[in-house]
Amino acid sequence: MHDPTKPDLEESVNVTEAHERVLRGAAAASRENRLTENGAEPVSMWVMALCFIPVMFAGWTAFGYGTPLFSYKDTVREGYVQVIPPDDDGAKAEPMTAVLAYSKKGAKIYSKCSGCHGPDGKGDGNAYPSLAGSAFAQGENERFAMIVLNGLTGPTSYGKTFGVMPAQGAGMSPEDLACVMTYVRNNFGNKVGDVVSKAQAAEAIKISAGRAKAGAAVTGDELNADHKKTLSGAAVKADDMVDPITLEAVAK
């Protein structure tokens, strides 16, 4: 570049030519428009009207839901968490026969049993006896309940001694017991056709706790001597219509 203090003495560079060279390389930069921003159009009414829509929505959001504003104490808004109200449609399912409703719930509880007795209830004939066709399972319901609650040792109703069945009663509610017993008595080819009601199951739990050898596994002899009877407590008929969730009777 030339010395700026002596512009007139510099003759070796033709300024126009030098510029041409640069501009040739920078064609895009040399054909640009000037930036102008002098537009002075007023903000039109319809833009204001359009902007009014978000203002309305924002006001509704902040003042309708965000109140009290800037209160650091209010952390939970009333009614934000939704719960199914007790008398709501959502809680009501189609009523079905008691034996079906109990069995449906029982099938889920039976998953505890299926590890040994198998998903088809047939056991393996060696260490685990079959529930299908079992006299204990299909016989008097108190006897069956004692086995479920306390486990079984010694000979079974087949006369054969399998392994020792551990007690299953811990943590079992009357409803659980009622359902799983109803399921076993009416599935795997068993067709007892009755329902073990929740009241009966509660009675069974009471009897189990009051046994002389409470906590120990029952034996076939004890069962036949003390428990070969039908449980007292309000019975439910197999074809009564019940709510599948609550298992309470519903009017037909």
Partner 1 sequence: MSTPSQTPVNDALRRAEIDLSLRHPVMFFFTSGAAWLAVAILLGIIASAKTHSPDFLSSCSFLTYGRVQSAHISALVYGWGCQAAFGALIWLMARLSRQECRAAGIILVAGHVWNFAISLGLISILAGEGTGMPWMEFPVFAWVPMLLAYAAIAIWSMVQFKLRPAGHVFISQWYILAALIWFPWVFASSHLMIHAFAGNPVMAAAINAWYRSGMLLLFFVPTGIAAAYYLVPKVTGRPVYSYSLSSLGFWSLAIIAPWAGMQKLAGAPIPNFLPYLGAAATILFAIPAIAVSVNLLKTASGAPETVANSPSLHFTLAGVIGLLVLGGAAVFLNNPAVLPGTQFSMANYGFDLLGLYGFFSFIAFGVIYFVVPRITRREWLSSRLIKMHFYFSIYGVALVVLVAVFGGAMQGIGLEAYKQPFEDAMTRANPYAVATTLAWCFLLFSNVFFFFHLTLMWLRLGRRSSHPTLLGAHHADDLHDATHGPEGDIDNGGPGTVIQNPHPHAH
Q: Is residue 170 within the footprint of partner 1 (CB under 8 A)?
A: no
Q: Is residue 41 within the footprint of partner 1 (CB under 8 A)?
A: yes
Q: Is residue 31 within the footprint of partner 1 (CB under 8 A)?
A: yes
Q: Which residues contact 127 (CB under 8 A, 6 or more apart)?
A: 116, 162, 163
Distance CA 120, CA 137 (A): 14
Q: Is residue 87 within the footprint of partner 1 (CB under 8 A)?
A: no
Q: Which residues pair with 155 in a beta bridge?
A: 161
Neighbours of 18 (CB within 10 A): 12
CA angle 237, 175, 188 (to 5 degrees): 65
The smaller minimum CB distance to partner 1, of residues 12 and 71, is found at 71
Q: Is residue 1 within the footprint of partner 1 (CB under 8 A)?
A: no
**Cβ(141)–Cβ(231) under 8 Å?**
yes
Least Å from the CB of residue 244 to partner 1: 15
Burial label for 207, CB within 10 Å (0-12, 13-18, 19+), is middle
CA angle 81, 83, 85 (to 5 degrees): 145
Q: Is residue 27 within the footprint of partner 1 (CB under 8 A)?
A: yes
Q: Is residue 135 within the footprint of partner 1 (CB under 8 A)?
A: no
Q: Is residue 26 within the footprint of partner 1 (CB under 8 A)?
A: yes
The smaller minimum CB distance to partner 1, of residues 55 and 234, is found at 55
Binding track, positions 2-21, relative to partner 1; x by CB under 8 A: --------------x--xx-
Q: Give contact residues for partner 1 (rule: CB under 8 A).
A: 16, 19-20, 22-43, 47, 50-51, 53-55, 57-62, 64-77, 80-82, 84, 88-90
